[in-house]
A and B are shown apart, each in its own frame.
Chain A
């Protein structure tokens, strides 16, 4: 028996986040050449290649690179020779039976693996050191590890990790390892180009859309156009007459009974090529007669009417303190009433959704880019009435995730189609499908009422938010207002809801950061000073509260971070200096995520200042200055990329209209009428990080929420025009 077949279930490193890196051989490996696989995630082969097998999904956030960096740091591995592969989801994966196991979202991958990945590296390094020491008949203290080699301190001897792999595999992993202190980091904190770049730059990086499996057929789909649509009739003959089209199958919808599941019913055109399937789809669309149902009567006008109606009905309370009514009656001398509106927004994932599915009598195999392979299988198992053990999900990098690929619909539909035809099928969504059958950022209106006393103190704030989905309903005011009340109302939506990069934080920060800015101006105070004063007061309230609740612990840590970010930002932009006419600065701050014990009750904080010029009816962004506190920055190049991407992501809805609804359906269809930012609209960005050695708190979404309010506050300071609904309709955007 090969040595690697030994099971070492002797040590496990449990991280604060509860992720277990058990050190054991998952299954027997074919050992020619020898492969040392101390656990499911790490392999070292005799040719000195280190493979990191990752269960997180690569969405463009660079997780393969940053996880490799964490491993390499403690393993003392040569980062350039680390290869990554994605672990298929099947019964061999720990926690496979859980509904939410390893999903990739909420900017949480590095947060979750920060400790575990480094510990794994340290454990394996220790085993390699031990192997070398035994080979040289010396003690471990005489050996050191560097760039995938173990060297002898006293002489020139060295052995590669690959050469030591076989011996190391016989050893028992150490019970305990000591991790490096931040001053000793050589890889963490070093700007590192993404390890996949060379594959991307040569067209070799493979997405599921680029995959093929034997006997695969192609499909394009016609999804039911509204939430309660039915088919009255359809004529298949012209579609079936298209060369290459073999058949049309109807697939049922599946119920929505969990956060991310549920799928639309539809018709699938099966063909021998993508093009034939797409042509068939188009033809079929022209030959279906729909009953659009009750939702077919809805549009944005009726939805706005319903939002008006909501104002006359009861709201749900989320938070309250003091006595809002009494304050307005007795203390307030000036009242400001303002409302903000945020449209439905699509994702516009660059790679249209797609899945290859092969469902047989007792197995289901999936090839797709998803943020939630395990969750998807978990729900699909129920739909197909098949045990979870019979599923295999081959994960692929996604051409953009941004929350959309957390949803299971596109995989479910492919599985239902494959089940009917008994063949592996590649279902490719068209861009039109992607725009029209999305999982949208909710439509939301927020009504704020704030009151100042005679000394211009903000003594009361009343918030009423009306939205089309519970996520992010209500708002965390973050600022201290002695009398405050937050209420919300959720209305039925003709469109499906979704998580859109930064989920609820985007909508909350927009209204709150504009409102607080408006209150500052109303009180004739500087918006930065005003914010600082109220944050400090909130910190005092939290300190006085002296309770041990998670929320208080979180707030007590976050508030000083806000203050530090604001101060840093203020200095960077020289806040308060005189600007040329027509120019203005707008500030906003927000955090993203929630505090957890293992992050010491912190989440990432972002502050932005938009330098805006408004002239002749045109608004221009001169520069966005960003300050972020996200704890330790693992890969500054990747972290900056996330900030740049987040800012451009958030800028599109300020320039272009959100999703419009007509007859219960999305009115737009492709990039010509559902527009997104292009290079000529992308302003300069200046990024800095608060220097920190804290636990990382996530980077993928942090910079999204603050952009909208920073810009709208900037437009006001530049022009006196207060924009409260996006996109900005009062002015035109200036392109380069």
Chain B
């Protein structure tokens, strides 16, 4: 057990958990931020993707003890009122089916567009292939990323 303090979505929390607890379970069980999902626990599906200092990470594979003074953003904190370009594009293109994988998809896509505002098809495939969607929303994910990119440029 250890005492930790963590900045998530600009708010700092202090709590006590086992030091090997993955960030995913701290977010969900301790901080009750349930938007970040558990899918595989081994870094294979991307459902648990969050931003750490602006980069996408698999929160299921990051023990809390390894996080030092970093700023974490989850789907709940991606934008003030759910108005991030990616969040909006996702709704317009009607991407979600069951929705379960989608916070991970959106976090990965948002990080991609931060890095490459006008991604090519190959960029999209490379960035998004770590995120599984069993409902098969892949065509729409591509379309929504392209729409978001267009909205960024205009």
From residue 97 to 113 of chain B, which have CB atoms closer than 8 A to chain A?
A: 97-103, 106
A249 within 8 A of B: no
Rounded to whole angstroms, the CA-CA distance of A227 and B141 in the bound complex is 40
What string of 1s and 0s marks CB contacts (under 8 Å) between A230-272 and chain B? 0000000000000110000000000000000000000000000
Residues of A within 8 A of B39 (CB): 350-352, 431, 671
Chain A residue nearest to B98 (CB atoms) is A60
From residue 44 to 81 of chain A, which have CB atoms closer than 8 A to chain B?
A: 58-62
| Interface residue SS majority, chain B | loop
Rounded to whole angstroms, the CA-CA distance of A80 and B102 in the bound complex is 22
B8 within 8 A of A: no
Residues of A within 8 A of B122 (CB): 736
| Nearest CB of chain B from residue A197's CB, rounded to whole Å | 4
From residue 172 to 205 of chain A, which have CB atoms closer than 8 A to chain B?
A: 191-194, 196-205
Residues of A within 8 A of B138 (CB): 644, 648, 677-679, 682
Residues of A within 8 A of B131 (CB): 678-679
Contact of B128 among A399, A638, A645, A679 (CB under 8 A): A679
A397 within 8 A of B: yes
Interface residues on A, range: 35 or more
Q: Are B29's CB and A274's CB within 8 A?
A: yes
Chain A residue nearest to B39 (CB atoms) is A350
Q: Which of A58, A197, A348, A676 has the most CB of B within 10 A?
A: A197
A349 within 8 A of B: yes
| Nearest CB of chain B from residue A629's CB, rounded to whole Å | 21
Q: Are B91's CB and A671's CB within 8 A?
A: no
- Known contacts A209-B38, A679-B124; A200 and B102 CB within 8 A of each other: yes
Q: Are B42's CB and A671's CB within 8 A?
A: yes
B31 within 8 A of A: no
- Known contacts A350-B101, A679-B129, A679-B142; A670 and B35 CB within 8 A of each other: no
Q: Are A276's CB and B18's CB within 8 A?
A: yes
A273 within 8 A of B: yes
- Known contacts A274-B29, A431-B40, A678-B129; A202 and B75 CB within 8 A of each other: yes
A206 within 8 A of B: yes
Residues of A within 8 A of B93 (CB): 193
Q: Are A59's CB and B98's CB within 8 A?
A: yes
| Interface residue SS majority, chain A | loop
Chain B residue nearest to A210 (CB atoms) is B34
B87 within 8 A of A: yes
Q: Are A679's CB and B141's CB within 8 A?
A: yes
Tally of contacts, chain A with chain B, CB under 8 A? 198
Rounded to whole angstroms, the CA-CA distance of A430 and B129 in the bound complex is 22
A733 within 8 A of B: no
Rounded to whole angstroms, the CA-CA distance of A194 and B121 in the bound complex is 26
- Known contacts A62-B97, A202-B76, A671-B42; A244 and B18 CB within 8 A of each other: yes
Q: Are B45's CB and A671's CB within 8 A?
A: yes
A330 within 8 A of B: no
Q: Which of A428, A671, A685 has the most CB of B within 10 A?
A: A671
Q: Are A676's CB and B90's CB within 8 A?
A: no
Contact of B87 among A202, A244, A646, A735 (CB under 8 A): A202
B13 within 8 A of A: no
Contact of B136 among A209, A218, A649, A735 (CB under 8 A): A649
Contact of A201 among B36, B87, B98 (CB under 8 A): B87
Residues of A within 8 A of B37 (CB): 209, 350-351, 399
| Nearest CB of chain B from residue A212's CB, rounded to whole Å | 8
Residues of A within 8 A of B29 (CB): 218, 273-275
Chain B residue nearest to A351 (CB atoms) is B100
Rounded to whole angstroms, the CA-CA distance of A402 and B18 in the bound complex is 36
Contact of B133 among A275, A350, A431, A685 (CB under 8 A): A350
Q: Which of B38, B42, B106 has the most CB of A within 10 A?
A: B38
- Known contacts A197-B90, A243-B1, A351-B98; A645 and B135 CB within 8 A of each other: yes
What string of 1s and 0s marks CB contacts (under 8 Å) between B8-45 and chain A? 00000000011011100100111011111111111011
Q: Are A352's CB and B38's CB within 8 A?
A: yes
Residues of B within 8 A of A58 (CB): 98
A408 within 8 A of B: no
Q: Are A670's CB and B128's CB within 8 A?
A: no
Residues of A within 8 A of B71 (CB): none
Rounded to whole angstroms, the CA-CA distance of A243 and B18 in the bound complex is 8
Q: Are B38's CB and A201's CB within 8 A?
A: no
B96 within 8 A of A: yes
Q: Are B97's CB and A193's CB within 8 A?
A: no
Contact of A644 among B18, B35, B44, B140 (CB under 8 A): B140
Chain A residue nearest to B90 (CB atoms) is A201
Residues of B within 8 A of A653 (CB): none
Residues of B within 8 A of A397 (CB): 98-99
| Nearest CB of chain B from residue A401's CB, rounded to whole Å | 8
Q: Are A273's CB and B34's CB within 8 A?
A: no
B47 within 8 A of A: yes
A207 within 8 A of B: yes
Chain A residue nearest to B30 (CB atoms) is A273
B94 within 8 A of A: yes
Chain B residue nearest to A244 (CB atoms) is B18
Contact of B44 among A192, A430, A670 (CB under 8 A): A670
Residues of B within 8 A of A205 (CB): 99
From residue 721 to 736 of chain A, which have CB atoms closer than 8 A to chain B?
A: 735-736
Residues of B within 8 A of A648 (CB): 136, 138
Chain B residue nearest to A347 (CB atoms) is B134
A647 within 8 A of B: yes
Contact of A207 among B45, B74, B94, B100 (CB under 8 A): B100
Q: Are B125's CB and A679's CB within 8 A?
A: yes
A385 within 8 A of B: no
Chain A residue nearest to B102 (CB atoms) is A200
What string of 1s and 0s marks CB contacts (under 8 Å) between A389-402 and chain B? 00000000111111
Instruction: Please give 16 more A-B residue pairs, beta carbons under 8 A apart, in addition to A60-B135, A193-B93, A201-B106.
Output: A203-B34, A273-B17, A273-B25, A273-B30, A274-B38, A349-B134, A350-B45, A352-B39, A398-B98, A428-B38, A430-B41, A431-B41, A670-B44, A671-B132, A676-B132, A679-B142
The 8 closest A-B pairs by CB, nearest first: A203-B35, A60-B98, A399-B100, A648-B136, A203-B75, A210-B34, A645-B136, A200-B99
**9 A–B contacts from the bound complex (CB under 8 Å):** A201-B87, A201-B106, A209-B37, A274-B29, A350-B47, A351-B37, A351-B98, A431-B41, A678-B129
